[in-house]
C-alpha cells in the first residue's frame, strides 16, 4: 500500500495527479468496493441510486451513459428501467469494469474503459447521462462537464448523485473530519489504507458547493430541473436538462 504513502490532498493537487490517484485507488478498492459503499452509507447506497433512477424521464429507446460506473450497480438499474435502450457504463478503472462485467447484465448493457475528459463517444449521441459519485472524482470538473455537454443531445437529460458540502463553514469543518474518519476507517478495514475512501473528505472539500455547482452547470448549458438533498443533507441529487 506504499502507493498511498502521500496524503490524499497531495494526490489531488493537479488533474494529472488526481487521475493517477483515481486509477491506483480504485484498483485497490475494487474487490471490496460494493461492501465498502454499503457499509459507509449504512446500507442506503442502493436505495439512493434507485431514487435517482425513479426520477428519470420516460424514454422509449434511449442511449444512456453511466459515468464512473464502477462495479455497475447503477448501470444495471438503468438497464432494468430502460429495457429497450442502450446502456453504456464507462469507467477509468479496468479492475472495476472487470467486476462490472462479471456481475452480468442484459445484452443491451455494455461497458467501456474511458476518461471523463475524453469520452469515447460521438457528439450528441446520448439521451441520458448519469453518475453516482462521479463528478467529484473528475480530475478537472470543467473539462468533464464540457465532455458531458458534447455527447449529450440538446434536450437530453442528466442525473448525478454525490456527496454535498454542508451549508456553513462550521458544518463543512465537522463534515470533513466525519468523512475522513468514517470512510477512512472502512478503507483501512477492507483495503488496508486510510487513504482508500478516506480521500472522499478532501475531494469534497475541493468540490463546488451547491450554488457554485449549479452556476457551473448552467455555464455548460445544463439547466437544473431537480435539486434534492438526501441523508440529512450529506448527499445531493441533481437532475438536469441540456438546454441548447
Here the CATH number for the domain that contains residue 119 is: 3.40.50.150
The residues, any chain, with a CB within 8 Å of residue 115's CB and separated by 6 or more, are 19, 92
Q: Please state, rounded to an integer, the average pLDDT across all residues of the chain.
A: 94
What is the model's pTM?
Answer: 0.95
Tell me which residue of 195, 239, 237 sits closest to 44, measured CA to CA: 237
| Cα dihedral: 148, 152, 158, 164 (round 10) | 10
Dump pLDDT digits (tens) for 149-179: 999 999 999 999 999 999 999 999 999 999 9
In order, the DSSP letters of 39-59 are HHTTT-HHHHHHHHHHTSPP-
| Distance of alpha carbon 201 from alpha carbon 5, whole angstroms | 17
Question: Distance between the two ends of the chain, CA-based, in angstroms?
Answer: 46
Dump pLDDT digits (tens) for 114-142: 999 999 999 999 999 999 999 999 999 99
Q: Let me know if residue 132 belongs to a domain.
A: yes
At 90, the pLDDT band (50, 70, 90 cuts) reads very high
Task: Decide if 89 contacts 110 (C-beta within 8 A).
Answer: yes
Q: Let me know if residue 199 belongs to a domain.
A: no
Instruction: Mark out the alpha helices in the chain (DSSP H runs).
Output: 8-11, 15-29, 33-40, 45-54, 73-81, 94-102, 141-151, 169-191, 195-206, 210-219
Q: Let me know if residue 65 belongs to a domain.
A: yes
User: What's residue 12's pLDDT?
Assistant: 85
2 pLDDT above the threshold of 80? no
Task: Decide if 194 contacts 25 (C-beta within 8 A).
Answer: no
Domain with 74, as residue range(s), is 41-164+208-242
Q: Let me know if residue 70 belongs to a domain.
A: yes
User: What's residue 11's pLDDT?
Assistant: 80
92 pLDDT above the threshold of 50? yes
Task: Name the domain count of the chain.
Answer: 1
The gap from C-alpha 123 to its chain's centroid, in whole angstroms, comes to 21
At 4, the pLDDT band (50, 70, 90 cuts) reads low
Q: Let me know if residue 53 belongs to a domain.
A: yes
Task: Decide if 30 contacts 71 (C-beta within 8 A).
Answer: yes
Amino acid at each position: 500500500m506504499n502507493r498511498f504513502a502521500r496524503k490524499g490532498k497531495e494526490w489531488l493537487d493537479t488533474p494529472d495527479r488526481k487521475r493517477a490517484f483515481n486509477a491506483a485507488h480504485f484498483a485497490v478498492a475494487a474487490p471490496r468496493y460494493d461492501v465498502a459503499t454499503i457499509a459507509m452509507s449504512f446500507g442506503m447506497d442502493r436505495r439512493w441510486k434507485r431514487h435517482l433512477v425513479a426520477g428519470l424521464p420516460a424514454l422509449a429507446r434511449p442511449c444512456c451513459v453511466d459515468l464512473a460506473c464502477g462495479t455497475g450497480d447503477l448501470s444495471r438499474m438503468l438497464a432494468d428501467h430502460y429495457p429497450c435502450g442502450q446502456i453504456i457504463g464507462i469507467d477509468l478503472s479496468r479492475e472495476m469494469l472487470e467486476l462490472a462485467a462479471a456481475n452480468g447484465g442484459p445484452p443491451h448493457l455494455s461497458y467501456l474503459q474511458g476518461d471523463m475528459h475524453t469520452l469515447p463517444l460521438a457528439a450528441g449521441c446520448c439521451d441520458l447521462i448519469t453518475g453516482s459519485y462521479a463528478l467529484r472524482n473528475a480530475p478537472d470538473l470543467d473539462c468533464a462537464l464540457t465532455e458531458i455537454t458534447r455527447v449529450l443531445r440538446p434536450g437530453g437529460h442528466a442525473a448525478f448523485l454525490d456527496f454535498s458540502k454542508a451549508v456553513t463553514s462550521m458544518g463543512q469543518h465537522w463534515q470533513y473530519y466525519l468523512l475522513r474518519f468514517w470512510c477512512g476507517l472502512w478503507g483501512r478495514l477492507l483495503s488496508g489504507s486510510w487513504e482508500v475512501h478516506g480521500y472522499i473528505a478532501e475531494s469534497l472539500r475541493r468540490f463546488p458547493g451547491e450554488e457554485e455547482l449549479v452556476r457551473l452547470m448552467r455555464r455548460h448549458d445544463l439547466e437544473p430541473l431537480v435539486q434534492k438533498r438526501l441523508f440529512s443533507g450529506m448527499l445531493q441529487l441533481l437532475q438536469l436538462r441540456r438546454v441548447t
